Chain A
Amino acid sequence: MRPRKSFTAMAIILGFGLHPEVRADEKAAQPETSGAAQARETRATTPAPEAAKVSAPPTAEEVEALRREIEELKKQLQTLRDELRSALLSGPGAPSGVAPPGQTASAPPPPPPTPGPAAPPPAAPSQTSNYFNPSVSVIGNYLGVGGSNGTGDLPSSSLRESEVSFQAIVDPYARADFFLSFGEEGVGVEEGFATFTSLPGGLLAKVGRMRTAFGKINPLHLHVLPWPDEPLPIVNLLGGEEGWIGTGLSTALLVPLPGDVFSEVTVQVLRGDSGELFLTAPDRGSLAYNGHYRVFSDLSEATNLEVGVSYGLGPNGLTPTSDTRLEGIDTTLRWKPLRTATYRSASLRGEFIRSRREDPLGNQTTDGWFLSGEYQLAKRWFTGARIESSGHADDASQRDRGKAVLLTFWPSEFSQLRGELRRREYADGETADELLLQIQFAIGAHGAHPF
């Protein structure tokens, strides 16, 4: 705190245009010292003892303390002078002078020195400080695969996804969330939406591109799934590994139920094409729709149950009028004793999806489901299992089946190692046994845990 104060003091003492580096440092230091500022405020509200101290004759200790402080200020003045000199000498081509230690990491590159004695008031910090920058985080998702599989084509080793997120409050009415998904080669906007959090009537609206609220798994990002891979019904019926992502408008409303039972209905209107699910919307009027209703109830302090139903509809592009209809039901049962001294928890989840695809060559109606369980063995260890089965949306006579066992270790909240042993029996007759090894790591802002 003291160096910052003295920076400001020096800027005044020096009496010329605020040195760009100082300004940069001020900017960088600002968010870090908000706590310190608070402490300073607290101190300012109790001036009485300090005033009393001043009026008393100074003791030898106080004189010594003052002397030390003066020495320190002198040193800082000297450093500032040196910096200024080096910055002026090096000119705009090499503006990076000697930055004070400890500030280098967070300080933005200083702007080139402005000629002439421009003198902005040193007391007013710049409004363009990074104080309002969004929270940034990056999650790396590495996947290594062993075994052979001629149908699914996961590479032996890949950085499957690097998800970069930017999240911040927009204004008193909305917040914004962006999730950019970097593959090894391309970049995609996985999600990017504004959420309007203070609408009347208990409405919650989202506008932008988002993972559709169809079922429980589709809205989740790959890295928060309890498996390294998407289950078969998502892949086969919701348009591939990515699932159903749509661009449009989403509104959600709480539906009051007796007691403390939570229920929410979500209605989404989206552009009529999405990945392989809804193709080549013939015109602007062909839209995709999704409705989701979920009910959540605490059965006891430790156990809770969530049940959801979903209905989706959109043009499949086979003819100008042919649609694909999706129906889904999902359920999640969780058990987590709050007295966690034993670090145990369990969850059981299942989802059933039916797809009806209008096809001029013969309508295809098929379904898919998975059932998955997860059990916490110790504070950082989880084990799990999953069975799954799904028809192909475009060919109801074809059906894939799979089963998998999993083991997950969390070294910390910010990294995760996971192994999955998976057998998939594909409709074409192939049986593939594979070992998937996933390593995930997150840097940056601490995101909320998904539930």
Chain B
Amino acid sequence: MKPMKLLLAGCAIPLMGFSGAPVFARMKVVTTLQDLASLADAVGGDRVETFSLVKGYQDPHFVDAKPSFILKLSRADLLIAAGLEREIGYLPPLLDQSRNAQVHPGSPGYLDASTGCEILNRPVQQVTRAMGDVHPYGNPHYWTDPENGRIIARSIAAKLTELDPAGREAYAAGLAAFEGKLTQKEQAWAAKMAPYTGTKIVTFHDSWPNLARRYDLNIVGHIEPKPGIPPSPTHTLEIINLIMTDKIPLILVEPYFDLKTPKFIAEKTGATVLSFYPSVGGVPEIKDYFALFDYNIDAFVAAMKGKS
């Protein structure tokens, strides 16, 4: 059966007008985040082979610059990074040692996925570290808005076409299929979230401004007193008061934060703690970019229904 299938595929590919991508010449795409790998897979299909440095369930703020990543980068045709200095803690030394000038920022093999995306919370005044671990280029969790996902997919398609012109049609087809499905999915997600417009929520870290804006959620507080600073007793009390006064139903927590404080707050206030996944791969069910929203939105809706 298998050889038969291969034979058929061998015939079908030239017939379909593809210029024939031999299996061994697949574009090696390294991404920092699993979300970007998922988008590259969606666009590139069989013509790309992706590897993500950061796992979806890992805290992307603390990533080790392991030498094994140097190997991956040394063999890469394309590096897709989230940009906005999100990777500043580990990517620069890896790139310096990669011996692969092709994927350095400014070279054709480097793509900053934030380009063209809508970036929120760009500081308008002078930033200092008294504000915690602030991101001077804006909030780096921008792919949590599906419309930004669309922009990233387009950038990836353009970049892949530039590096591998023979795959032009394949990438265009991959992008078209992705965008078609995304448009459909967006309607479904919007419909599911519509009843919860304006819902006030508290989140652990400031990871969700893009998602909140897309679905009209109102983030009124964070469990971290400042970005990157763990919960403090006084701030936790303030949050408890806030939740009581504003009758906030949900506390969203990224999978890589300790649940102790959120659970304590939930006990005191009756709010529900909901694990909310900022990245593909956060749990095994979140296999790709669509599943990321499917999973989170379903969990959100279920939690809200449980409240009423």
A interface residues (Cβ-Cβ under 8 A, vs B): 35-36, 38, 42, 102, 105-106, 172-173, 175, 195, 197-199, 202-204, 252, 254, 260-262, 264, 294, 296-298, 301, 304, 306, 334, 336, 338-343, 379-380, 412-414, 443, 446, 448-449, 451
Contact = CB atoms under 8 A, between A and B. Distances in A.
A262 B70 contact: yes
A104 to B, nearest CB: 10
Interface of B: 55, 57-59, 62, 64-68, 70-72, 74, 85, 88-93, 95-99, 101, 104, 106, 115-116, 119, 122, 125-126, 129, 132-133, 137-138, 228-230, 255-259
A336 B70 contact: no
A268 to B, nearest CB: 16
Given A105-B126, A338-B55, A412-B229, 16 more contacts: A172-B101, A197-B99, A198-B99, A202-B74, A254-B74, A254-B99, A264-B67, A294-B67, A301-B55, A339-B255, A340-B59, A340-B256, A380-B230, A446-B88, A448-B90, A451-B90
Contact of B125 (A38, A102, A343): A102
14 contacts: A199-B99, A254-B71, A254-B74, A261-B68, A262-B67, A304-B68, A338-B58, A412-B129, A412-B132, A412-B133, A412-B229, A446-B88, A448-B91, A451-B90
Contact of A342 (B67, B115, B258): B258
Contacts of A106: 126
Contacts of A262: 67-68, 70-71
A423 B287 CA distance: 53
Contacts of A38: 115
Given A304-B68, A339-B256, A197 B96 contact: yes
B99 A204 contact: yes
A338 B214 CA distance: 30
Given A204-B97, A380-B230, A446 B85 contact: yes
A306 B138 CA distance: 37
Contacts of A195: 96
A338 B104 CA distance: 26
Contact of B93 (A199, A380, A446, A448): A448
A334 B99 CA distance: 25
A105 B97 CA distance: 36
A184 to B, nearest CB: 25
Contacts of B257: 341
Contacts of A341: 255-259
Contacts of A105: 126
A330 to B, nearest CB: 14
Contacts of B90: 448-449, 451
Contact of B89 (A294, A296, A306, A448): A448
A42 to B, nearest CB: 6
A380 B62 CA distance: 12
A341 B260 CA distance: 10
Contacts of A338: 55, 57-58
A261 B258 CA distance: 33
B230 A451 contact: no
A336 B62 CA distance: 11
B71 A449 contact: no
A448 B65 contact: yes
A173 B106 CA distance: 12
Contacts of A298: 66, 68
Most buried by B among A106, A175, A199, A412: A412
A163 B125 CA distance: 29
Nearest to A36: B122
Most buried by A among B71, B95, B259: B71
Contacts of A297: 68
A407 B65 CA distance: 24
Contacts of B71: 254, 260, 262
Contacts of B230: 379-380
Nearest to B230: A379
A441 to B, nearest CB: 10
A314 B84 CA distance: 46
B68 A296 contact: yes
B229 A175 contact: no
Contacts of A36: 122
B58 A339 contact: yes
Contact of B67 (A202, A203, A296, A301): A296
Nearest to A337: B58
B92 to A, nearest CB: 5
Most buried by A among B74, B88, B99, B101: B99
Contacts of B68: 260-262, 296-298, 304
A334 B96 CA distance: 23
A197 B101 contact: yes
Contacts of B55: 301, 338
Nearest to B254: A341
A38 B138 CA distance: 13
Nearest to B64: A451
Nearest to B253: A341
